[in-house]
Structure 1
Amino acid sequence: MKFEIDNVALNYSGKTILNGVYLKAEKGRITGILGKNGSGKSSLIKIFFGSLKPKNRLIKIDDKPFLKPLYRSGKAKYLPQHPLLPENIKVAAAFELFKAEWQHFME
């Protein structure tokens, strides 16, 4: 599997954080994102996953455009240091995303 994100643009409070970013990651290879604090690394990962909406971006998987958020596809997993899910996701959708059962959780 090949994952690409291209032409990423993100602004916060009128300040450009990311502009024209391209990244490719391939199955079986290690891809690193390096940069100083505040350079947009975490924001880029959140854009990949779909929990942060950028001004602009194009995501492709195996050279085909991918329009829905990655967290809903099951094609990628992300375990961040801070809050994991987008603010607008419902509990039922979170359980479905993680293939969890409510009764099992309650036990």
Structure 2
Amino acid sequence: MIAVKVSYTVDGAYVQKNQENIQIFMEDFKKLSGNDFRYNVYLLNDGKTFVHLSHFKNSEIQNKVLNVPSFKEFQRQRDESGLNNTHKLEEWSLVAATTDILNEP
């Protein structure tokens, strides 16, 4: 399993547009079949820092999800909005969980 955390801060004027773009790609993610990934997006209390947490069964599923056109468009617009070097990507290794994150035995 692959677990990834991405965080970034946008300008206050871009927060609403970023949320709209997130809703668009999330609707497309929901259309993908199976239980091979989980993807959640959070907004921190500062009102402008977003955190994306994702879990993928494997790299093939990860590549499929991350190449959804609406997600690529979201990334383009987000990056062009001016992140001021706040973009941070971390890959994690799962140690333990209270539930089977991807419904795996």
TM-score of the alignment, normalized to the shorter chain, above 0.5: no
TM-score (norm 2): 0.29
- Structure richer in helix, relative to its length: 2
TM-score when normalising by structure 1: 0.29
Question: Could you say which structure has the greater relative contact order, defined with CA pairs below 8 angstroms and 6 or more residues apart?
Answer: 2
